[in-house]
Structure 1
Amino acid sequence: TMHIASLKLLLSFLILSLAARPYIIVLSEEDLKESTISCDESPDWDEFVDFDSPHKSEDELDPGSWHSLFDPASSSATGSSDTSSELEALYISGVSKMISASSSGDARLMQEAAAEIEAAACEGHPHSRSVLGFLHGMGMMSERNKAKAFLYHHFAAEGGNMQSKMALAYSYSLQEMYENSTKLYAE
């Protein structure tokens, strides 16, 4: 039996080796020498890096990030109005409940989360609109509706939500509306 098992193992390796493609890398002696780049020459990627610009915080780059859910100490106070703070608190509460509901499988908690997020979205909170766009696009908590998802993402993108801008840009690229797509990707 040990002989048969060895034969099967050898046969499986033979089959795998037939399916694999051989790769040959040809290196010259010049390729192996360590090349030095002078200060005047810059690598291609270097032209896109702007070292003079100030470093932006995560909140500036993505104000709708869920970072504050996972690290509450890192969230900074922005000098925003009380209404904006209330909407942000409602959004954070809804997303927190949504994550808990997803982990526990609690449908009632997920409905509460969706209601809180929808309430914030109705008041104009762009990040809540983005989450609703995601929920409608995926068919979670409601029937899948791509038109509503697009609409929510559109208004969230106008409000500055980066995820919705990327979702719209992708949608535009699928529809071969490359000018719109490029404009959103550039932002």
Structure 2
Amino acid sequence: MSVLSHKIIAFSLLTFLLYIHRVHAQHFILNFSDEDFHNGFDSNSTEDGSNTDNFGQTESKSDQDLDPGSWRPILELDDLVVNPALTLYYSSLKKMVLAASKGNISLMEEAVTQLNASASAGDPHAQSVMGFVYGMGNDTGEAWRQIVSATSFFG
């Protein structure tokens, strides 16, 4: 065998061993209460352990209730029941995603203008997206041209 093939085999073996070592090196913590130590560890217990996952909640909440500013209604085809106060926010996000995928700078600027209006009205989700927008280049036309041209090849 040549020197190159030995190097390839050694590198492959080293990579495999490092991967196996990483898989087996997981840390974990066991959390026992004082009650567990006093009552003992009876594996034949009749108590159902599923009640520990409830954390005091009796009813499940929808995704929309848990995260009202989610982008999920934008990305899914079916329109979910959306809070009417967030209509401008969702409209501007749809325009932003469309502008980024099509490479349309004027549509992106229109979406940012709508987002800015929604953020100025006090919508915390729009304020969060505007923070992202300002972090990407202070919503100047040149910065958006660079961003849109960089992402338009994905569409």
Tell me which interval the TM-score lies in, with the shorter structure as reference length: 0.5 to 0.7
Q: TM-score normalized by structure 2? A: 0.60
Q: What displacement does 1:39 show?
A: 3.6
Q: 1:135 aligns with which of 133, 136, 141?
A: 133
Report Cα offsets for 1:65-94 as digits up to 9, x if no partner. Answer: 11221235351255xxxxxx3x52221111
Report Cα offsets for 1:9-30 as digits up to 9, x if no partner. Answer: 34301233245347489xxxxx
Q: 1:112 aligns with which of 110, 113, 120?
A: 110
Q: 2:68 aligns with which of 63, 78, 94?
A: 63
Q: 1:95 aligns with which of 90, 93, 96?
A: 93
Correspondence 1:13 to 2:9: yes
Structure with larger RCO (C-alpha < 8 A, sep 6+): 2
- Over 3 Å counting, the alpha-carbon distance change for 1:123 and 1:37 in structure 2 is farther
Match for 1:132: what amino acid? M
Q: Which runs of 5+ in 1 are unaligned?
A: 26-35, 79-84, 143-187
Report Cα offsets for 1:100-138 as digits up to 9, x if no partner. Answer: 111122221111110011011111222211111222234
Q: TM-score normalized by structure 1? A: 0.51
Identity of matched residues, %: 29
1:16-95 correspondence runs (5 A):
16-18=12-14, 20-21=17-18, 23=21, 38-40=45-47, 42=49, 47-50=52-55, 52-71=57-76, 73-76=78-81, 78=83, 85=84, 87-95=85-93
- Over 3 Å counting, the alpha-carbon distance change for 1:101 and 1:39 in structure 2 is farther
Q: What displacement does 1:49 show?
A: 3.0
